[in-house]
Amino acid sequence: MTSDEAEASLILFATYTARPELTEDDQLFARALERRGVRVRGAAWDDPAAAWDSAAAVVIRSTWDYHLRHAEFLAWVDRVAGATTLHNDARVVRWNSHKKYLGEIARAGVAVIDTVFARAGTAVGVETVAREHGWRDLVVKPAVSASAHETRRFAPDEYEAAQLHLERLQRERDVMLQPHLTSLAEQGELSLLFARGDFTHAVRRRSALVEGHPMPKSAPANAPATARRCAERVLAAASAITGVAADALLYARVDLAPVGDDFLLLELELIEPSLFLLHAPDAAEQYADALVRSR
C-alpha cells in the first residue's frame, strides 16, 4: 500500500484528553469500519500532536469536555474542517453546541419542551418563570452543556436554591430553565438514532434527574410511528435552519419525551452523542456504510 493509500484509509475519531481511547460503542463502530478496509485511531481533540490533516475524515465522537472550553473547541472544529472532512459538518456543530437551537426548532413549528433562556448577566426570577409557565419541578442548566454538567432539578420548595444556582451559572454563561416532565420520571426519554437521515434504532433512557427508579439506564426500545414522525420533523427543521441536509449528517440522535399520544423534543444531539451501538450491533454496520459512502 502506498503512503497516499494509507492516508486515504485512515479515519480519526476525536476523543478527549481524560479518556483518549475509544468507548466500547465506538470500538464496535471502528471494527465495522476496519472490515471495510478503513483504519481507525482515536485522538484527543486538544492534542497538539494530532495530525488531523493526515486523515481522510475526522469523526467527533467522545469530546466530552467541549462544553468547558466552548470557544476553543469551536476554533478546533473550524481548523479541522479546513484540513479534512469533518463529521458532522462544522456549521452543524457550531449551531448545535448552544441549546438556543431549541428555540429555533420550536419557531419552525416543531413541538419542543418549554424552555426559557436566561442570558449571562440578565435578571431572571425562577419563581416568576415557574408561575407564568405553570411549572412545578423545574430544571436549571447551562445552555452550553454535556453529560448533565451543572444540571439540577428543583421542587417548588427549592426555588430559592434554584435562584442561587441560576445566578451562579449566569456569572459566566447563558442558562436555561425547563420543567421536569412527569412522563420523564415515569417512562424516561426515547432516543431515536439516525445514520445519514435513515432511522437505525431506538433506545429508552432513564432520566439523569430521577434517582432510585428501577428502569435501566438504557435499553433497546421500539419507536412508535408518532415518535418517528416527530424525529423526522426535528431533522427537517434542523436542515432548513442550518442548510445541511439530514442525509448529510453522519449521525443524529433525537431525544424525545412522551406527552399523551405524541412526543416533544428534549434535545437534538449532532456533536458527540452516545449511539448505543451495544444495544444494536447491526447499527454499527449502518454507520460504517454511511461513513465509507461519504468519503
pLDDT, one tens digit per residue, over 10-48 is: 999 999 999 999 999 999 999 999 999 999 999 999 999
Same-domain pairing of 85 and 198: no
Q: State the Cα–Cα distance between residues 176 and 151, nearest whole angstrom.
A: 10
| C-alpha cell belonging to residue 37 | 478496509
What pTM was estimated for this model as a whole?
A: 0.94
Instruction: Residue count of the chain, please give it.
Output: 295
Residue 194, pLDDT score:
98
Q: State the Cα–Cα distance between residues 9 and 79, nearest whole angstrom.
A: 21
Same-domain pairing of 106 and 205: yes
Same-domain pairing of 220 and 253: yes
Residue 295, pLDDT score:
60
Count: domains in the chain: 3
Q: Does residue 132 surpass a pLDDT of 60? A: yes
The reply to whether 295 falls in a domain is no
| Pairing verdict, β 116-118 and 175-179 | antiparallel
Which CATH number belongs to the domain containing residue 160 in this structure?
3.30.1490.20
Q: What percent of the chain has pLDDT over 90?
A: 86
pLDDT, one tens digit per residue, over 211-267 is: 666 678 899 999 999 999 999 999 999 999 999 999 999 999 999 999 988 999 999
Q: Does residue 3 surpass a pLDDT of 50? A: no
Domain coverage including residue 224: 101-111+183-278
Q: Which of 164, 180, 196 is the last residue of a domain?
A: 180
Same-domain pairing of 90 and 201: no
Same-domain pairing of 229 and 254: yes
Rounded average pLDDT over 51-56? 96
Same-domain pairing of 107 and 243: yes
Q: State the Cα–Cα distance between residues 155 and 138, nearest whole angstrom.
A: 7
The reply to whether 69 falls in a domain is yes
